[in-house]
Structure 1
Amino acid sequence: MSDDKYSFFSNFSYYERKEDNILRVEVNEKSCCDSFLKDSIFIHIPFPDKFCEQFKKLHNLLLNSMVNNKKSDTLENSDCAFLNYWLNNKLRGVNIDTSISVNEFYNKIKAKNADIFKNISLKKKLYNIEKHELEKMRTLYDLYNIKSQIDTALSEDSPIEKRVTCS
């Protein structure tokens, strides 16, 4: 997978765990994400304030991770690629509404959180992924997710009932 936008797939389980960590995000009432409820560009996104909070948390988890001797407060190319995929996937949803720009979302959230979103390399790597390319990435993501579930079911730590269903 030499293409940069696919680079996060080489460490899929790491990004899968990070994404799992943001699913239970609560919206802070004093958050800048409240403004997303009133913003007309986000009318097609269910719970834009929660989406905003999830992105902030995902960004911070990746930014502050020190896996593989990575320096804290940095984003690697694969981190940026995953954030770009995640934003495209969530912003465009199933209806593929290309009127919502990844850069527009990022600029709005950055304007309200300049102290958090100060990584220059991320801004340069965010863009709207072409429809056909996003569909390929979604399929690949789903396949990696299935593989991960099978690996978990077959691991020695899994209950025997779970392992038997996969044989």
Structure 2
Amino acid sequence: MECKEETSEESYKFCINSPYYEMLVQHVKNNNNKVLQIKNCGNLSTEWIYSPSESTENICKEFKFLYESLSKYRGDKTRENEAFTEDDCNFLNYWLNDRLRNNDKDFSICVKEFYGEMNRQDRTFFSNPKNLENYMHVIDTEILENMKLLYELYHNAVKVINIIKDPTYKYEEH
């Protein structure tokens, strides 16, 4: 299967909210026991040879926990069944591209195919009304690196703004 690479200017917009998304990523990292309990990730029928230190099963579990967290921490219980925003979907695509690439610029996994495998494993899990699959695509390596930089810049900008507003502000690394 040939993977289609595509990225639009809209794909970058989620970076503006990088502190929010980074909080969710840290939430995933800080809840490893809950992540390990995620079901239906063990038999992904992928053909990819992957890093021994990073299994597709772990990436699947982390992605599903991140997806759940994104649904849960929207700030309003009544929004639970609403679709993710376009930024949320673009962030999930960015996160999955980054994790699947595993810092290997020459390694390419078809993100849409990987998402499809997760979806086939657990048809009821990805029940959000907005079809996330439409946002899943391979991000060009250079563009992914630019997205990482922009994401980090926005995150650092918020830290600087907080320090300016409150000189006693202490940023806590997670």
Question: In which range does the TM-score fall when normalised by the shorter chain?
Answer: 0.7 to 0.9
Change in Cα spacing, 1:144 to 1:10, as seen in structure 2 (3 Å) is closer
**Cα distance in 2 for residues equivalent to 1:110 and 1:146:** 34
Tell me, yes or no, if the aligned pair for 1:65 and 1:72 is still in contact at 8 Å.
no
Shift of 1:97: 4.2
AA in 2 matched with 1:158: Y
> What is the DSSP-based 3-state SS (H/G/I as helix, E as strand, rest coil) of the residue aligned with 1:34?
coil
**Where does structure 1 differ by over 6 angstroms across 4 or more consecutive aligned residues?**
none
- Of Structure 1 and Structure 2, the greater helix share is in 1
Q: TM-score, normalised by structure 2?
A: 0.75
Q: Determine which of 6, 16, 19 is the counterpart of 2:12.
A: 6
Of stretches 45-54 and 11-20 in structure 1, the one that deviates more from structure 2 is 45-54
Q: Determine which of 159, 169, 173 is the counterpart of 1:158.
A: 169
Q: Determine which of 41, 58, 62 is the counterpart of 2:48.
A: 41
CA deviation string 1:26-71 (max 9, x = no partner): 312x7222225x8542523613322221100111111233337972
Count of aligned pairs between the two proteins: 157
* Matching residue of 2:149: 139
> What is the DSSP-based 3-state SS (H/G/I as helix, E as strand, rest coil) of the residue aligned with 2:131?
helix
CA deviation string 1:8-38 (max 9, x = no partner): 122222111111100132312x7222225x8
If asked which structure has higher relative contact order (CA below 8 Å, sep 6+), I would say 2
> What is the DSSP-based 3-state SS (H/G/I as helix, E as strand, rest coil) of the residue aligned with 1:23?
helix
CA RMSD of aligned residues (A): 2.8
Q: TM-score, normalised by structure 1?
A: 0.78
Tell me, yes or no, if the aligned pair for 2:18 and 2:152 is still in contact at 8 Å.
no
Tell me, yes or no, if the aligned pair for 1:42 and 1:100 is still in contact at 8 Å.
no
